[in-house]
Chains A and B, each alone.
Chain A
Amino acid sequence: MRTKQRNRLILAIVIVAFVAVSAALALTALNKNINLFYSPTMIVNGEAPKDRMFRAGGMVSVGSVQRDPETLAVSFRLNDGANEVTVKYKGILPDLFREEQGIVVQGKLAPDGTIIASEVLAKHDENYMPPEVQEALDTAKKMGVTGAEKE
């Protein structure tokens, strides 16, 4: 039965080593591909990362959507009730994109503080509000009271 035990040991070592390597690789990959969420207020305060992708969400500001007549380039502003950021995007917007709709964008920050979006997400439900956006609005509302006193 020596070989049986030896075989089991070899198998066990191989499996453990394999799982350990996979776990390490998975965690590295996870670390590289996490997109944090920031509200317009946080972005205006300079909390958003400069060199990696992140997500931002808010309401599309009324009258802020501007289209280029020749290409698919579009820009609009996102607000959380307190602050606004400008988003630039090139491509087709989702069906449910419209003013005063809560949306989430994924992209990078440009030096001038606008977001260059690679993706614009609006979910398929007329009353739907992305929970991140709802929370951002609520936070901004709370902060807004104190902010008003300052001004």
Chain B
Amino acid sequence: MLPELGNFALILAMSIALVQGVIPLVGAARGIPGWIAFARPAVWAQFLFLLISFGILTYAFIVNDFSVAYVANNSNSALPLGYRISAVWGGHEGSLLLWVMLMGAWSAAVGLFSKRLPPEMVARVLAVMGLVSAGFAAFVVFTSNPFDRYYPAPVEGRDLNPLLQDIGLILHPPMLYMGYVGFSVAFAFAIAALLGGKLDAAWARWSRPWTITAWMFLTLGIALGSWWAYYELGWGGWWFWDPVENASFLPWLTGTALMHSLAVSEKRSTFKSWTVLLAIFAFSLCLLGTFLVRSGVLTSVHAFASDPTRGVFVLMLLAIVVGVSLTIYAWRAPQVKSAGNFALLSRETFLLSNNVLLVVATATILLGTIYPLILDALNLGKISVGPPYFNAVFIPLMIPLIIALGIGPLSRWKQDEFSRLAKLLRGALLGSLVLGVLLPWLLFDSFEPMVILGTALSLWLVFTVFLDWLHRSRHKANLWKGLFGQPLSFYGMSLAHLGVAVTAIGITYSSYYSLEKDLRMAPGDELELGGYLFRFEGVQSNHGPNYTATEGVISVSRDGKQIDTLHTQKRIYTAQQMPMTEAGIDPGLFRDLYVALGEPLGDGGWAVRIYYKPFVRWIWLGGLFMAVGGILAASDRRYRLVAKRKAEGKLGAKFVAQES
């Protein structure tokens, strides 16, 4: 009975979302206050029913109700409770229900935190979100219903995919979805502003904290996914340029461009139509990502089912969203007047280069990701595009981006002088070049050109961030006030930019100085790698709640001193008889020691991977910096201040004068 109620609540939510998408829109167009005011209560009701529906599915997992097909396919009574709860989004149907539920949550958040915005604007934003929500709820209800029943109910469930039985995977999908769905807010604001014909600085200012928050979640989601791949896939890679990874990286790149272009729209009232276009693209890429991952056109851990009707449905949603929003854009954008005027050397130009580079990066990755799919769909042969392509196109684009990133925040809006910037930055340039050569030499005793480049670029970022900090403090009464009295958004930006440097260092050093050895080891065999002595002690049996394991024990010592004993398992999950490798890692800020058990080779010998990975953790640490930077930037008080002062178009310009 309960699952049927969950289904019913979902259908109700879908209907409410549809009404929420129509009535306030008409109300705002015709100026009917009652219809405009309808938006908020509709959002509350929609979110409430989605919560009920999601709660009921979760309950079915907790009590092992295998009469629900989705539960039977993705859970097992031997599965620990925590994983039973995360199994709710461990399969196709449930993960989409999570998507719709989060969409409701974002709508409710917009409803809650936009009390001071003009009511027509809020009505339009919530209506656009309602329409998107209704589309996805319909997707769940009509093609992917998680409440479908099995009759008779099986005694035992098929268990959750063992790869997903992990803390990284409990958190990764909700974070990623929060990001994906969050970009619908930026999208809704853009469409609402186009419809209302008020594409001004105030719009950009309202949109900014939402965009930054969505970006923050997406950053965390991607970093978690990469971290998970590193320790759970069992071979120590952290990014594979796999289409499903690209699917999340594409909206991230465009979202990053959007965040920066919104800054220009707000402060300088220019780039506005471009910003709107980026908002449309960012959300469309989120939908494209969902399509790629969920439709079964790609085969991976993420593609749970290859039911063609589902793919067609998402593709139609995507086509409608892109088609309708671009039509509105074509209809309304020509009326947008770009007010700003800027010189060739100005902060606008640096932010423009940021946008161009990020968009070109998005386009090249998109090309490599969907080109094989298009060829396949047209029956022109089966191809795959490997990591060398993506590295070849992506890395050269990041070099100018990082150079510009260092200068941008220190440059002036509107017009700057070359001599001023040169004077300001020459110390940082010299320092990063010298240390860029010295540091790899001191740390790794090497002169690798790409490593020198990576180090110099990262140091350049670090130096310019601190230079910017010092530079901004000189106008304050004293140094202390100058250093610690800046607005939160400045600290957020600086931290996020530092995060780029940290990630760049991690990528450079772990790619160039990792030592990897796959070899045959018998008990007692030893290997020296990166100054550490690895000794294979042998294997033992072990078991968990729903698996049995063969556990390899490897002790690690350095200079005769025991450091750690690593345990790596080869697990067989009982329900599906599926094998899984669990790596043994000794983590450290400056290096990870990574061992994984391969297959038995006879005579007590085992294939073993032993890796030494310097600075690998910095890759995700940088992501964390960026995410925390995003939180700081989004919670800057000026976003709340402006909300209080019935924002107007000209407000942005006044703030520029105050802040620069």
A93 in contact with B598 (CB, 8 Å): yes
- State the Cβ distance, A42 to closest chain B Cβ, in Å: 11
A22-30, A78-86, A109-117 - interface stretch: A22-30
Selected from A15, A71, A123, the residue in CB contact (under 8 A) with B356 is A15
Which partner residue on chain B sits nearest A97 by CB separation?
B599
Contact between A33 and B598 (Cβ–Cβ < 8 Å)? no
Q: What is the CA–CA distance of A111 and B570 in the complex, to the nearest angstrom?
A: 37
Could you say which residues of chain A place their CB within 8 Å of the CB of B382?
36-37, 55, 132, 135
Find out whether the CB atom of B607 lies under 8 angstroms from the CB atom of A22: no
Mark the stretch among B315-323, B458-466, B575-583 that contacts chain A.
Answer: B575-583
Query: B360 within 8 Å of A by Cβ?
Result: yes
> Least Cβ distance of A111 to chain B in Å?
24
Q: Is A144 an interface residue (CB 8 A)?
A: no
B301: which A residues are within 8 A, CB to CB? 123-124
Chain B CB within 8 A of A10 CB: yes
Segment among B387-395, B559-567, B648-656 that sits at the interface with chain A: B387-395
User: How far apart are B75's CB and chain A's nearest CB, in angstroms?
Assistant: 17
A75 to B221, CA, bound (A): 39
A92-B300 contact given A29-B392, A30-B389, CB 8 Å threshold: no
A115 to B119, CA, bound (A): 67
Is there an interface contact between B360 and A37, defined as CB atoms closer than 8 Å? Answer: no
Whether B392 pairs with A95 at a CB distance below 8 angstroms is: no
- Tell me the residues in window 588-626 of chain B with beta carbons closer than 8 Å to chain A beta carbons: 598-599, 601-603, 605, 607, 609
CB atoms of A95 and B581 under 8 A apart: yes
Report yes or no: A72 in contact with B579, Cβ–Cβ below 8 A: no
Pairwise interchain contact A26-B393, C-beta atoms closer than 8 A: yes
Contact A93 B161, beta carbon cutoff 8 Å: no
Residues of B with C-beta under 8 A to A72: 518-520, 598, 601, 607
Contacting residues, chain A, for B406 (C-beta < 8 A): none
Which of under 10, 10 to 19, 20 to 34, or 35 or more describes the interface residues of B?
A: 35 or more
B371 at the interface (CB under 8 A from A): yes
The reply to whether B388 and A33 contact each other, CB–CB distance below 8 Å, is yes
Chain A residue contacts of B393, Cβ below 8 A: 22, 25-26, 29
Which residues 61-98 in A have Cβ within 8 Å of B in the complex?
Answer: 67, 69-72, 91-93, 95-96
> Of B131-139, B188-196, B341-349, B507-515, which stretch is located at the interface?
B341-349
- Count chain B CB atoms within 10 A of each CB in A26, A30, A69, A72 and give the residue with the most: A26
Specify which of A25, A36, A92, A123 is in contact with B299 (CB 8 Å cutoff): A123
Q: Is B94 positioned at the interface, with any CB of A under 8 Å from its CB?
A: no
Known: A11-B352, A15-B356, A22-B360. A125 touches B161 (CB 8 A): yes
Q: Residue B360 contacts which of A3, A19, A131 (CB distance < 8 angstroms)?
A: A19
Digit string of A1-34 for contact with B (CB within 8 Å is 1, else 0)?
Answer: 0011001001100010011001001100110111
Q: Which residues of A contact B349 (CB under 8 A)?
A: 11
Check: B550 CB closer than 8 A to any chain A CB: no
In the complex, chain A residues whose CB is within 8 Å of the CB of B580: 95
Residue contact A7 to B342, C-beta cutoff 8 Å:
yes
Residues in B with CB closer than 8 Å to A10 are: 344
Closest Cβ of chain A: how far from B76's Cβ, in Å?
A: 14
Q: A131 near B299 (CB under 8 angstroms)?
A: yes
Interface residue ranges of B353-389 to A (CB < 8 Å) = 356, 360, 363-364, 367-368, 371, 381-386, 388-389
> What does DSSP make chain B's interface, helix, strand, loop or mixed?
mixed
Distance in Å: Cβ of B82 to nearest Cβ of chain A: 21
| A26-B579 contact in complex given A34-B385, A36-B383, A132-B382, C-beta closer than 8 Å | no
Is B642 an interface residue when CB atoms closer than 8 A count as contact?
Answer: no
Closest Cβ neighbor of A22 among chain B residues: B360
The yes or no answer to A151 lying at the interface (CB within 8 A) is no
A95 and B343 in contact (CB under 8 A), knowing A11-B352, A33-B389, A72-B607? no
Q: Is B404 an interface residue (CB 8 A)?
A: no
Beta-carbon contacts of A118-147 to B below 8 Å, as 1s and 0s? 000001111010111001000000000000
Name the residue on B nearest A129 (C-beta).
Answer: B299
Q: Judge whether B37 is part of the interface by a CB distance below 8 angstroms.
A: no
Q: Is residue B397 within 8 Å, beta carbon to beta carbon, of the partner chain? A: yes
A11 to chain B, nearest CB (A): 7
- Pair A11/B385 contact, Cβ less than 8 Å: no
Complex CA–CA separation, A72 to B602 (angstroms): 12
Interface size on A, residues (CB 8 A): 41
Q: Write out the residue numbers on chain A whose beta carbons fall within 8 Å of the beta carbon of B352.
A: 11, 15
Any A CB within 8 A of the CB of B157: no
Whether A33 and B386, one on each chain, are in contact in the complex, defined by CB atoms closer than 8 angstroms, is yes
Question: Which residue of chain A has the shortest Cβ distance to B381 in the bound complex?
Answer: A36
The answer on a CB contact under 8 Å between A95 and B579 is yes
- Assess the A92–B364 pair: CB atoms within 8 A: no
A126 contact set on B, CB distance < 8 A: 576-578
Distance between A138 CB and nearest chain B CB, rounded to angstroms? 13
Contacts of B367 in A (CB 8 A): 26, 30
Closest to B599 in A: A93
Complex: A143 Cα to B64 Cα, angstroms:
48
State the Cβ distance, B277 to closest chain A Cβ, in Å: 15
Also in contact, A92 and B386, with CB within 8 A (given A4-B341, A11-B344): no
Structural contact, B601 and A67, CB atoms closer than 8 A: yes
**Given the complex of chains A and B, what is the CA–CA distance between A133 and B571 in angstroms?**
27
Interface residue from A4, A29, A34 paired with B383 (Cβ < 8 Å): A34
Give Cα A95 to B392, complex, Å: 30
Q: Note all chain A residues with C-beta closer than 8 A to B363.
A: 26
- Chain A contacts of B360 at CB under 8 A? 18-19, 22
Closest to B519 in A: A72
Residues of A within 8 A of B577 (CB): 126
Q: CB-CB < 8 A to B364: which residues of A?
A: 22, 26
* CB-defined contacts of B356 to chain A, threshold 8 Å: 15, 18-19
Tell me if B234 counts as interface (CB < 8 A to partner A).
Answer: yes
A59 to chain B minimum Cβ distance, whole angstroms, is: 16
Which residues of chain B have C-beta atoms less than 8 A from A130's C-beta? 299
Q: Identify which of B383, B518, B520 contacts A70 (C-beta below 8 A).
A: B520
Return the chain A residue nearest B400 by Cβ.
Answer: A18
Q: Which residues of the partner chain B approach A70 to less than 8 Å between Cβ atoms? A: 520
Asked if residues A30 and B385 are in contact (CB atoms below 8 Å), the reply is yes
A37 CB contact (under 8 Å) in B235, B381, B518 = B381
Q: Are A124 and B161 also in contact (CB < 8 A) when A11-B344, A29-B393 are?
A: yes
> Can you give 10 A-B contacts (C-beta < 8 A)?
A7-B342, A15-B356, A25-B393, A29-B392, A35-B383, A72-B518, A72-B598, A91-B518, A95-B570, A126-B576
Residues of B within 8 A of A (CB): 161, 163, 234-235, 299-301, 341-344, 349, 352, 356, 360, 363-364, 367-368, 371, 381-386, 388-389, 392-393, 396-397, 518-520, 570, 576-581, 598-599, 601-603, 605, 607, 609
Known: A15-B356, A106-B386. 11 other contacts (CB 8 A): A7-B343, A25-B392, A25-B393, A30-B385, A33-B385, A35-B386, A69-B603, A72-B520, A92-B599, A124-B301, A125-B161
In order of increasing CB-CB distance, the 10 nearest A-B pairs are A33-B389, A92-B598, A37-B382, A29-B392, A95-B579, A26-B364, A33-B388, A92-B607, A26-B393, A35-B384
